Structure 1
């Protein structure tokens, strides 16, 4: 999981509109790469956090939800950047609660914290952070593909990813080190292929 925080001077915010930033998921990998380069060149500051699959899996032993892990990581980024206004793409079903939880983790008080669902579609500054994060993820994925073969997007909705996991488990009797053990899809594939429990649904 890759999370990014990015800051711009208020006088430079118009640059984001001119650059044409928008929801990163709607951009091609090449477009994300190009935009990410320009954003990192122009921004006032940027912090990228890569959360390893091991840390995501280990949170279960620490009884930390994935939402809480994201809150902790986002708060760390915000604390590092110290922006006066903060815009957050909320991961919780309760967007306001997500913002409050992050605020409580901070050692300073921003003048404004906006926490909303789909903030990357509403606010160019969030779109910018999303683009940089997605580009960094793209780069990691492409490097893994060079070493281990094409496994698709790495998302549960991708049948190519599921097929890759299935074949890996059949051949190696384990899961790739870069796959989440706590992923429900991984658990179900292991049950089906190693423990002979029929999986009726995994997407």
Structure 2
């Protein structure tokens, strides 16, 4: 069996990062229409997500809150964060082979590190969504993150996408409208706002 792992929300200044693992038959996943979550509408992602849950042998994810991300970023170890949490997911989803969308510019180094840590066969790729299990993990991670962001928006209002390039997000940050526990305080975006 093959397991794919991918994340959603690495770049935003607001909200968690979600890393997901999906193990199962690649052909069955392809029949569901899995592909990179960024190419699917939110509605389509939700539909495919529900089907993934039904047909996959293992679906699991971790939510990495902003304060945890900040701890790793302050130590200049963001890739290590993904390494640590991906290793946890590998332990939770048994498979013979793991394909991981690599955050490291050197995907082989990243895959080798995961193999060393977990004792499992891991192949790290750039653009790993070409592997159906990774594409499915991309969808799961994105759906979970979107749901968490939607909950936050219902609580405090529409702050935009949460990305540093979003004018609305920046304005909300500037005005202090986003709860501090939801913000990645280690992001440069905040340093620029405070100067």
Matching residue of 2:184: 180
Match of 1:195 in 2: none
Partner of 2:140: 132
Per-residue CA deviation, residues 112-169 of structure 1 (Å, 9 max, x unaligned), is x22111112x111100001000000000000000011101111122222112211226
Could you tell me how far apart the structure 2 residues matched to 1:64 and 1:43 are? 35
With the length of structure 1 as denominator, give the TM-score of the two structures.
Answer: 0.83
Q: Match of 1:141, SS? A: helix
Q: Is 2:11 the partner of 1:2?
A: no
Q: What is the Cα-based RMSD across aligned positions, in Å? A: 1.6
Secondary structure in structure 1 of the residue aligned to 2:98: strand
Equivalent residue number for residue 66 of structure 2: 53
Contact 1:168 1:175 in 2 (8 A): yes
Q: Is contact 1:32-1:135 (8 Å) kept?
A: yes
Q: Please identify which structure carries the higher strand content.
A: 2
Contact 1:165 1:175 (C-alpha < 8 Å) held by counterparts: no
| Residue of structure 1 equivalent to 2:128 | 119
Q: Structure 1 stretches (4+) deviating beyond 4 angstroms?
A: none
Q: TM-score, normalised by structure 2?
A: 0.86
CA deviation map 1:39-70 (0-9, x unaligned) = 01111011110001111112256x35100110
SS where residue 48 of structure 1 aligns?
Answer: strand
Counting only pairs closer than 5 Å after superposition, residues 16-31 of structure 1 correspond to structure 2 as 16-31=29-44
Higher-Rg member (1/2): 1
Give, in angstroms, the shift of residue 176 of structure 1. Answer: 2.8
**Match of residue 81, structure 1, among 78, 93, 100:** 93
Which of residues 141, 146, 157 in structure 1 aligns to 2:154?
146
- Greater relative contact order, per chain length (Cα 8 Å cut-off, separation 6+): 2
> Is the Cα–Cα contact under 8 Å of residues 21 and 61 in structure 2 kept in the other structure?
yes
SS at match of 2:164: coil
Report SS of the residue matched to 1:168.
Answer: coil
The residue aligned with 2:8 is none
* Contact 1:96–1:115, Cα closer than 8 Å, also in 2: yes
1:158 equivalent to 2:166? Answer yes
Cα distance in 1 between the residues matched to 2:109 and 2:19: 19
Q: Distance in 1 between matches of 2:123 and 2:165?
A: 29
